[in-house]
Amino acid sequence: MTDLSTNYLGIKLKNPLVASASPLSKNIEMAKALEDAGIAAIVMYSLFEEQITHESNALDYFLTRGNESYAEALTYFPMFKDYNIGPEKYVRFIADIKASVNIPVIGSLNGVSSGGWIDYARKIEEAGADALELNIYYIPTAGDLTTNELEDAQVELVADIRSQVKIPLAVKLSPFYSALPNFAGRLVAAGANGLVLFNRFYQPDIDVQTLEVVPSLELSNSYDLRLPLRWVAILSDQLKADLALTSGVHNEEDVLKAMMAGAKVVEIASELILNGPARATEILTAMEAWMVEYEYQSITQMQGSMSHRSVAEPAAFERANYMKALQSFDRRINYPKALQGD
């Protein structure tokens, strides 16, 4: 019998397939379907402090704007006793999902202020989340913000949250750090139990007709796996923390690659959004079949088997790989005849 189970953040999971933070977790019925399809854990969609702050300010602004200006219309809206502004709705939803499924549920949080991060993290813990994924989604645009300042602040944040909550913490990172291994190590030292590689940003596009910047979010494809795959391979040897690979996991082979590189789990969303939760069953079945065929007994057996240090040529994950790839690409270019040598 092939053993698909894995350990992630100190939690034993029946297999390494985790539903990543996405709209998939906005609906209890969907969560149940994911569980039924074999998904081992669910990461909730992210709670964005910035959004809550924005909604709160916007509500206040629009309820107040124009008030007390003209004697006949001192206000424009009826009084409400209460609003669901704030993390409460999200927190309630975690509790609801927890009550509806038997697999672990991992909260996901994107804060702005350190107070917000800590406060919301505590609330998510209180709601019964089995772990918390910190979604450090931040685009540094200020020219005077140094790498050190940014990294110090994020490390401090993780330490602060670690000191306030007891559930396991994972940190979801962007790939854009100058010295990722060092930074990753600092996060782990600050108390992160795991890292999720990597965050998939909303990449704005430009509409050349309207001359407007338009938000867009493309679903991933298997090619996107390459970036996290490399870094999982590099980091899995160095860190005493569990790694989750996310971005580009679409089939059983992608999962196997992730495990071999050293990930404890993969987080998957695009494939399930495209093809429905039942796709998880197909991937798991195919994985198991592959493992049977190639005589792997367990997932743990393959985890890290092709990490940076485990492979015969570690340089394959390094710069040489880049050079080689470029050369091979060069051969594929169709040069105009005039530029071709005789």
Partner 1 sequence: MSNKITIDANEAVARVAYRVNEVIAIYPITPSSGMGEFADAWSAQDLKNIWGTVPLVAEMQSEGGAAGAVHGALQTGSLTTTFTASQGLLLMIPNMFKIAGELTPTVFHVSARSIATHALSIFGDHSDIMAARSTGWSFLGARSVQEAHDFALIATAASLKSRLPFVHFFDGFRTSHEINKISELSEADMVAMIDDDLVYAHRSRALSPDHPVLRGTAQNPDVFFQAREAVNQYYDDCPQIVQDAMDKFAELSGRRYHLFDYYGPQDADRVIILMGSGAETVEETAKFLNHKGEKVGVITIHLFRPFSVKHLMAALPASVKSIAVLDRTKEPGATGEPLLGDVISALFEGKALGIAPFEQLPVVIGGRYGLSSKEFTPAMVKGVFDELKKDTPKNHFTIGINDDLTFTSLMYDALFSIADPRTTRCVFFGLGADGTVGANKNSIKIIGEETENGAQGYFVYDSKKSGSVTISHLRFGPGDIRAPYQIGIGEANFVACHQFNFLERLDVLKYAEENAVFLLNSIYGPDEVWKHLPEEVQEVIIARNLRFYVIDAYEVAQKTGMGGRVNTIMQTCFFAISGVLPRDEAIEQIKYSIKKTYGKRGEAVVEQNFAAVDHTLANLHQVKVPLVASSEIQRRESVSDKAPAFVRNVLGPMLAFEGDDVPVSALPHDGTFPTATSQYEKRNISLEIPVWDEDICIQCGKCAFVCPHAVIRMKVYDKSYLSDAPETFKAIEAKFKGVPGTKFTIQVAPEDCTGCGLCVEVCPAKNKSKVGLKAINMAPQPPLRESESRNWDYFLSIPDIERADIETNTVKNSQLLRPLFEFSGACAGCGETPYVKLLSQLFGDRTIVANATGCSSIYGGNLPTTPWAVDSVGRGPAWSNSLFEDNAEFGLGMRLTVDRQTEFANELVRKLADSIGSDLAEEILGADQSTDAGINLQRDRVKELKQRLASDSSRDVKQLLSLADFLVKKTIWIVGGDGWAYDIGYGGLDHVLASGRNINVLVLDTEVYSNTGGQASKATPRAAVAKFAANGKPLPKKDLGMIAMAYGYVYVAKVAMGANDAQTLKAFKEAEAFDGPSLIIAYSHCIAHGIDMRKGLEQQKLAVQSGVWPLYRYNPDFIALNRNPFNIDSRDPSIPVEDYAYNETRYRMLLQSDETRAEKLMDEARGDVSKRWELYKQMAAMDYNTAKKNEEE
Nearer to partner 1, 81 or 332 (CB): 81
> Least distance (Å) from partner 1 to the CB of residue 122?
14
Closest distance to partner 1 from the beta carbon of 120 (Å): 11
- Contact, 155 vs 204, CB < 8 A? no
117 CB-contact burial (10 Å; exposed 0-12 / middle 13-18 / buried 19+): buried
Please state, in angstroms and rounded to a whole number, the distance separating the CA atoms of residues 259 and 228. Answer: 12
Provide, rounded to whole angstroms, the least separation between the CB of residue 164 and partner 1.
17
Q: In the complex, what is the shortest distance from the CB of residue 162 to partner 1, in angstroms, rounded to a whole number?
A: 23
337 exposed, middle or buried (CB, 10 Å; 0-12, 13-18, 19+)?
A: exposed
H helices present in the chain, as ranges: 28-37, 49-64, 88-100, 114-126, 147-164, 180-189, 226-238, 252-261, 270-275, 278-293, 299-302, 319-332
Compare residues 179 and 217 and give the one whose CB is closer to partner 1: 217
**CB of 212 vs partner 1, minimal distance in Å:** 8
CB-count burial class (<10 Å; 0-12, 13-18, 19+) for 121: buried
Using the minimum distance from each CB to partner 1, give the nearer residue, 46 or 199.
46
Name which of residues 303 to 342 contact partner 1 (CB under 8 A).
Answer: none
Residue 217 beta carbon to partner 1: minimum distance, rounded to whole angstroms: 16
End-to-end CA distance of the chain: 61
Q: Which is nearer to partner 1, 48 or 183 (CB)?
A: 48
Closer residue to partner 1 (CB): 1 or 208 = 208
> Which residues touch 175 (CB under 8 Å, ≥6 apart)?
197, 198, 227, 228, 231
The residue count for binding partner 1 (CB under 8 A) is: 37
* Neighbouring C-alpha atoms within 13 Å toward the C-beta of 334: 0
Per-residue interface string for the shown chain with partner 1, residues 62-101, x marking contact by CB under 8 A: xxxxxxxxxxxxxxxxxxxxxxxxx--x------------
Closest alpha carbon to 134 in 188, 182, 195, 185:
195
Contacts of partner 1 in 196-235 (CB under 8 A): 211-212
| Tokens, residue 124 | 């998510």
Binding mask 142-181 for partner 1 (x = CB under 8 A): ----------------------------------------
Minimum CB distance to partner 1 smaller for 76 or for 202: 76
| Max CA pair span of the chain | 88
Site for partner 1 in 98-137 (CB under 8 A): none
Q: What is the DSSP letter of 249?
A: -
Binders of partner 1 among 44-63, rule CB under 8 A? 52-53, 55-63
Q: Residue 29 interacts with partner 1 (CB under 8 A)?
A: no
Half-sphere exposure of 36 (CA within 13 A, CB side): 10
Considering the complex, state which of residue 68 and residue 342 has its C-beta at the smaller distance from partner 1. Answer: 68
Give the residue with the Cβ less far from partner 1, 152 or 207.
Answer: 207
For residue 171, what is the enclosing H or E element? Answer: strand 169-173
- Closest separation in Å from C-beta 65 to partner 1: 7
Q: Which residues bind partner 1 (CB under 8 A)?
A: 52-53, 55-86, 89, 211-212
